[in-house]
A = this chain, B = another copy of it.
Amino acid sequence: MTMTYPRLNRDGAEPLWMQLMRALRTRIDSGELGPDQPLPSEAELSDMFSVSRTVVREALRELVQQRLIYKVKGRGAFVSPRKTELRFIGSMSGSADDLRESGRRVTTHTVRQALGEADEREAALLQIPLGEQVVRIRRLRRVDGQPWLLVDTALPARLVPGLERAVLENQSLYDVLRRRYGLEPAAADRWIEAVFPDREDASMLEVSTSTPLLGIESVAWLDDNTRFEAYYALHRSDQTRFYVGIR
C-alpha cells in the first residue's frame, strides 16, 4: 500500500496526533481505504510520518472512538464496515462539543430570531398560556461546512428578556442561557421520529424532500414546575447518527 501523505506541521499549533488522525480520516472518508481494509501498522505509520508510536496510537484511538476504525489485537487496525459514523452525544450542545473535540469544524448560524406569541404547540410544550410572549430562534448548524442540524427553539420571553436581540452566532444556546440568565437545564424529555422535510427545511439542510431525517422534539426543565425551552430539530442522520449514552 503506497500512500502519499501531507507532511505534519511541527510548529506546535496543532497536536501531531490530531493532524495524523485527520490525514487518516481523509483517506477513509474519501473511500481510498474501503470497509474492512487494514490500515498500515502502527510501526509503519510511525515510520511514514516520522512520529513516535505514542502519536500513532493517540490518533488511532481517536478514530476508534469515532468508530471509523476498529482494532484487533495481534492483527491490526481496520476501516469500520459502517459508513458515515461520527459521534453524536446526548444533548445538542454536548454533541457539538464532541464533534469539535474530534477535530471537526462546527459552525452555528442564526437564521431567524424574533419575539412572538405562543401557538398551540409551544403553549402545550412549555406549559404556558396560549399567546404568551415567546422568543423564537431558528438556527442551522454545520459540521465541516455540511448542514447537519436545523433547530427551531422557543423560550418564554419572561425568562430570557432581551434574548431576541442577543448575538448567538457560533455560540451554544445553552451557554448563553447559563451565562446571561443563569438558567441551567435540570432535565429534558425528547421524542424522536423519522420524517421527510418540507421544501424549505430541505433546502436549508441541502437534501431532497425525500431524504429521511430525524425529527427531535425536546422540552427542557429548570425544575418540576418550570419548563424553559422547547425545540424541534431536524437532523441529518446520514451525516452523524444521533447518539444516546446510558450510564
Contacts and interface: CB of A to CB of B under 8 A. Distances in A.
A186 interface: yes
A242 B195 CA distance: 13
Contact of A88 (B72, B81, B212, B244): B244
Given A120-B81, A124-B70, A247 B192 contact: no
Contacts of A195: 194, 212, 237
Interface in A168-195: 186-195
A85 interface: yes
Contacts of A67: 245, 247
Given A247-B67, A247-B85, A242 B188 contact: no
Contact of A86 (B90, B120, B237): B90
Nearest to A75: B130
12 contacts: A36-B120, A86-B90, A87-B247, A88-B245, A187-B247, A188-B245, A190-B244, A193-B237, A194-B213, A194-B237, A195-B237, A214-B214
Given A67-B247, A188-B246, A193 B86 contact: no
A238 interface: yes
A241 interface: yes
B192 A86 contact: no
Given A67-B247, A86-B90, A193 B242 contact: yes
Interface residues of A, number: 48
A216 to B, nearest CB: 9
Given A86-B244, A192-B241, 20 more contacts: A65-B65, A80-B124, A81-B120, A83-B186, A85-B191, A86-B90, A86-B246, A86-B247, A88-B244, A88-B245, A91-B246, A187-B246, A188-B245, A188-B246, A189-B243, A193-B237, A193-B242, A194-B212, A194-B235, A196-B212
A87 B190 CA distance: 11
